Structure 1
Amino acid sequence: MSPRWRNAALLLLALAVGAAAVVWFLRSFERVPEQITLPAYGEPTYNPLFALREALRKDGVSAQSRRQLDLPAMALQPHDTVLMLEDPRQLTRPQVDALLDWVQGGGHLLLQVPAAGDDRPDSPATLLGRLGILPSEVPARCQPWQVAAQERHQEFCSGTRFNLAGSRRIELHWGDGLDDTLAYARLRYGIGRVDVLADMDFLRNGNGATGGLRDIPHRDLARLLLAPNYGKGTVHLVYAVQAPSLWKMVLQRGWPVWLPLLLAMLAWLWARSQRFGALLPSPREERRSLLEHVRASGEHLHRYGKTPLLYDAVRQAFLARLRRRAPLAAALTGDAQAHAIAEHLQWPLARVQSALQLPASQDDTALRERIRLLIQMRNQL
């Protein structure tokens, strides 16, 4: 078979295999749409009452969300509603007075009872103390809640039950009858109302396709709680969630960026630093010069009567250079050598002969003079 026909056969075989694979894939698999609930992003991630606000707006009710209670900005009207998730004991005395004055004029306030036994005071000056609400240390219990044509629900399972001190105008209350603690109560205050709940978990954003206001019983319960001023004014939802600090967010979510940079910086510092010992080199110790050593050795020899050794060392240094510079003169001896050196240096003969003669051991002046002459002769060679 020629190469052309062989290549054509291989191409047809590859096309046939590809067509068979496509047919098998189309027969074995079917395109089916699937709905996937994406995780929350944006405001629902930090506002737990976002779903309640949107539900109220779709029902035609004016609703606003606020992180903290800001009475001047809210400008509360007699038929408004305020729902607070934050601990009422955090409110200041002026805020408590202004809030109760507004309720007394027809406002509707919904509170969540905080946990009992923590470090925050329950003095009579707080909002709970003014209303006579006493958090109980009784363990939390669920309250059954049944809506027609719906499954049986349990509410306030994780909340803090409470008692009411003194004579209060109780319009509604909800308890299981096992003791005098309540899971919910509606109090009349002036011409307004205060709803006290053990917890408000059913009003929060749901998780996935269920929970929160996605459940019909939760929507009915929320509608009953908001009934006094529903549709008459604005509903203010105060969720008071403490926003995480910038450093905490950087540590928790920014580690893919700062961790490699930190490792790179540590590697650079390790490469630039010394491997062993101190970071700075040890200072050099003081060293004496060679001339000082020579001078000290000469003084030592002179002190112990070894001056001929000093003269001989200088004479040998002169003769060593003489052998390199004037080898003929160095080969001679006695007066002939002195005549040759004097002629080479153009010095007086007597001066050269004096320099080549060993001085007396006790004559320091003659020793210095002869050493000086030998050094001069050596330098002139």
Structure 2
Amino acid sequence: MNRRTGWWLGALAVLLLGGLSLLLYLKARPYQQVIDHGPSPAAQANPYLAAELFLRGRGLAVSHAETLAVLPQTDPHGHTLLLFGERARMTPREVDQVLNWTRAGGRLVFVAESLWDARSQQSHDLLLDRVQLQQSLSKDLKAPAEDLQKDRYPALTKLYLEDEDAPAYAGFDTDFHLDDPHNLAQAWANSAKATHMMQLAYGLGTITVVTDAELWKNPHIGKYDNAWLLWYLSADTDVTLIFSTTHDGLWTLLWRYFAQAMVALLALLGLWLWQVSVRHGPVQMPAPAGRRQLQEHLRASADFLLRHNGQRALLQALQQDVLRRARRRHPGFDQLNVAEQWLALSRLTRQPTRAISQALSPVRNLRLSSAEFCRQVAHLQTLRNTL
């Protein structure tokens, strides 16, 4: 290929590239696209993060904790305590601590956790029982049908304030209802069928009981007047939000991120258990009971007596047997003193007196060696067999 042909090819490539660029310029249109990556790690760790940010934006100082350990250091005056965490393990001492804090001037907002049990006359929610309010299911109530028809928003909870023409609307869970059997509540908020918030004075402070706190979590706080209601309950105070953040355990995390490895590990464990449980060699049949000889029974009986009674009892039994046979062979044996008895036994058995004295001497409460024990038993048996 000569130089002229190369120039023509280069010019053609430039023209094609320029034409393509012009076409893209005329046809391409810039646009913006928002990609939702889901909640941030902070929002996932704190379900009330949006509520905290909203209250801080209204000028309130907000802190959160997982336990009531912060309560002794918290001044009740000008302070709101939001108890939105699990209270199943709340002790009577902690209930007294919270109520004393409220009585001294604090604001307390908590969620009713249990239903009222008419049979036991309690709800097993210590804090709810102490403020003498009761929670039940809305479906058990009998509301007039005409009230439901007149209500434009029957599923929303209405809070009526003085000098306001329209109520504030909140998205409480309408499945639950609060009841005030002793007429202690001074303010409340209802949906078309049930009551979902009650407020009563308690000493120098106030207590607000709600059926749920889901409306103040991140996905729902921006709906209706949910955020405003939370600010209304804690206005002009510092806020401490107490809730427990549950973290996934080790096994849950391992199964979530290493499922294949966990399955392989379980399979290996099963194979190992199967391998160690396999019998090695043929099954040994039990020995027939008829093969045992009299000598084996005697040996087993002697071993049993030795284990349970000891050496001393066996030796004393042999000594008594020797003396009993001596009484039969020698009349008046019991009237003789010990030395005369040993002389009489020496004449009857033709054994030296020293050997007889060693065999019939009182047995000491000491454990003998196997050889010494066998020697004494053999000596006593020789005396007994001779008589």
TM-score (norm 2): 0.56
TM-aligned CA deviation for residue 142 of structure 1: 2.3
TM-aligned CA deviation for residue 98 of structure 1: 0.6
2:93 is the counterpart of 1:94: yes
Partner SS state of residue 70, structure 1: helix
Q: Which residue of 1 aligns with 2:364?
A: none
Relative to 1, partners in 2 of residues 1:135 and 1:125: Cα closer, same or farther, differing over 3 Å? Answer: closer
Distance in 1, matches of 2:96 and 2:241, equals 19
Give the aligned residue type for 1:218.
Answer: N
2:129 is the counterpart of 1:129: yes
2:172 is the counterpart of 1:156: yes
Write the deviation string for residues 56-92 of structure 1: whole angstroms up to 9, x where unpaired.
2232211101123324565343321111112444311
2:94 is the counterpart of 1:78: no
2:41 is the counterpart of 1:28: no
For residue 196 of structure 2, the aligned residue among 168, 183, 191 is: 183
TM-aligned CA deviation for residue 30 of structure 1: 2.0
Distance in 1, matches of 2:167 and 2:199, equals 26
Q: Which residue of 1 aligns with 2:299?
A: none
Q: Which residue of 2 aligns with 1:40?
A: 39
Write the deviation string for residues 132-160 of structure 1: whole angstroms up to 9, x where unpaired.
12110223972344999999956213552
TM-aligned CA deviation for residue 115 of structure 1: 5.0
Partner SS state of residue 27, structure 1: helix
Distance in 1, matches of 2:168 and 2:22, equals 52
Distance in 1, matches of 2:125 and 2:157, equals 34
Partner SS state of residue 20, structure 1: helix
Partner SS state of residue 47, structure 2: coil
Specify every segment of 5 or more residues in structure 1 that has no aligned partner in the other structure, as ranges: 284-381
Relative to 1, partners in 2 of residues 1:281 and 1:246: Cα closer, same or farther, differing over 3 Å? Answer: closer
Distance in 2, matches of 1:167 and 1:150, equals 26
Which runs of structure 2 are paired with 1:358-373 in the superposition (5 Å)? none
2:230 is the counterpart of 1:231: no
TM-aligned CA deviation for residue 204 of structure 1: 1.1
* Alignment root-mean-square deviation, CA: 4.0
Partner SS state of residue 110, structure 2: strand
Partner SS state of residue 139, structure 1: helix
Relative to 1, partners in 2 of residues 1:83 and 1:154: Cα closer, same or farther, differing over 3 Å? Answer: closer
For residue 244 of structure 1, the aligned residue among 245, 248, 265 is: 248
TM-aligned CA deviation for residue 183 of structure 1: 1.0
TM-aligned CA deviation for residue 189 of structure 1: 0.9
Distance in 2, matches of 1:14 and 1:49, equals 61
Give the aligned residue type for 1:46.
Answer: A
TM-aligned CA deviation for residue 199 of structure 1: 1.8
Partner SS state of residue 48, structure 1: coil
Q: Using the aligned pairs only, state the percent identity.
A: 17
Write the deviation string for residues 261-313 of structure 1: whole angstroms up to 9, x where unpaired.
9759979x99xx9xxxx999999xxxxxxxxxxxxxxxxxxxxxxxxxxxxxx
Write the deviation string for residues 181-205 of structure 1: whole angstroms up to 9, x where unpaired.
5211101111211111122222111
Write the deviation string for residues 213-270 of structure 1: whole angstroms up to 9, x where unpaired.
x3462232222222xxx223x2111122322212212322x23xx6369759979x99
Partner SS state of residue 106, structure 1: coil
Relative to 1, partners in 2 of residues 1:144 and 1:216: Cα closer, same or farther, differing over 3 Å? Answer: closer
TM-aligned CA deviation for residue 50 of structure 1: 1.1
Q: CA contact under 8 A between 2:138 and 2:174: conserved in structure 1?
A: no
Relative to 1, partners in 2 of residues 1:69 and 1:21: Cα closer, same or farther, differing over 3 Å? Answer: farther
Relative to 1, partners in 2 of residues 1:139 and 1:225: Cα closer, same or farther, differing over 3 Å? Answer: farther
Q: Which residue of 1 aligns with 2:53?
A: 54
Distance in 2, matches of 1:72 and 1:221, equals 24
Distance in 2, matches of 1:146 and 1:188, equals 18
Give the aligned residue type for 2:53.
Answer: E
Q: Which residue of 2 aligns with 1:8?
A: 7
Alignment: residue pair count? 260
Relative to 1, partners in 2 of residues 1:18 and 1:243: Cα closer, same or farther, differing over 3 Å? Answer: same
Q: CA contact under 8 A between 1:113 and 1:160: conserved in structure 2?
A: no
TM-score (norm 1): 0.57
Q: Which residue of 1 aligns with 2:225?
A: 217
Partner SS state of residue 11, structure 1: helix
TM-aligned CA deviation for residue 125 of structure 1: 7.7
Give the aligned residue type for 1:222.
Answer: L
Larger radius of gyration between Structure 1 and Structure 2: 1
Distance in 1, matches of 2:265 and 2:170, equals 54
TM-aligned CA deviation for residue 16 of structure 1: 1.8
TM-aligned CA deviation for residue 130 of structure 1: 0.4
